[in-house]
Chain A
Amino acid sequence: DVKVTQSSRYLVKRTGEKVFLECVQDMDHENMFWYRQDPGLGLRLIYFSYDVKMKEKGDIPEGYSVSREKKERFSLILESASTNQTSMYLCASSPRGSGGFYNEQFFGPGTRLTVL
């Protein structure tokens, strides 16, 4: 089974702190994604990566950065956390494979971040 793990299920941070959210997948997938989920808005893409050291901005990259130093790990960084970044953060991965970028994505359990 594909497994995508995220470092924390729940996280509480203070405004201005630097926050690291870690995501690890164990199926050698090329593509990895970070989303945030907010009520009434569905999931919105923050950043994605299709290879080591590669990154692409999603729809809402402001206030975030990412790092992909190893194929299995994709980190989301909040440089200076703000209260409007309180949300559920979901990581996903997908193989490039024969379906290209249209393969289904496999999701982690999410990290619920609260910024006070």
Chain B
Amino acid sequence: AQKVTQAQTEISVVEKEDVTLDCVYETRDTTYYLFWYKQPPSGELVFLIRRNSFDEQNEISGRYSWNFQKSTSSFNFTITASQVVDSAVYFCALTLYNQGGKLIFGQGTELSVKP
């Protein structure tokens, strides 16, 4: 069975600290996609990144970076120099090749960035 685990339920940091959100996934399929979404207090999930299982290159987008390691089935997300506006719930999700786009979500990590 497929599963996504975000072991950190809540994280609290002070502004300008770096923070890493962990995501571990389980699947026996070799073709899959991983996603990260942000859910701010307004409630609407915002897409951050998509990565396919054949592309293990790390990615950086401004203060955000993602580390994909198939060897440990992890797809971790790091925010550098965090800001108050980064406060949100972050979800990691998995979709498989033959599942019609069904997203399997982790439980979410609530990040609180304090000034």
Query: Contact residues of A with B, CB < 8 Å?
Result: 31, 33, 35, 40-45, 48, 50, 56, 58-59, 88, 90, 92, 94, 100-110
Contacts and interface: CB of A to CB of B under 8 A. Distances in A.
Contacts of A33: 101, 103
Nearest to B99: A101
Contacts of A104: 35, 47, 50
Contacts of B50: 102-104
Interface in B27-68: 33, 35, 37, 42-47, 50, 52
17 contacts: A35-B105, A40-B107, A42-B105, A42-B107, A43-B45, A43-B105, A88-B43, A101-B99, A102-B52, A102-B101, A104-B47, A106-B47, A107-B44, A107-B45, A107-B46, A108-B44, A110-B44
A102 B105 contact: no
A56 B102 CA distance: 10
A26 to B, nearest CB: 15
Given A40-B107, A42-B106, A42-B107, A105 B44 contact: no
Interface of B: 4, 6, 9, 33, 35, 37, 42-47, 50, 52, 91, 93, 95, 99-103, 105-108
Given A58-B102, A102-B101, A41 B107 contact: yes
Contact of B102 (A40, A45, A100): A45
Nearest to B48: A104
A92 B6 CA distance: 22
Given A88-B43, A90-B45, A106-B47, A50 B105 contact: no
A49 B9 CA distance: 31
A112 to B, nearest CB: 8
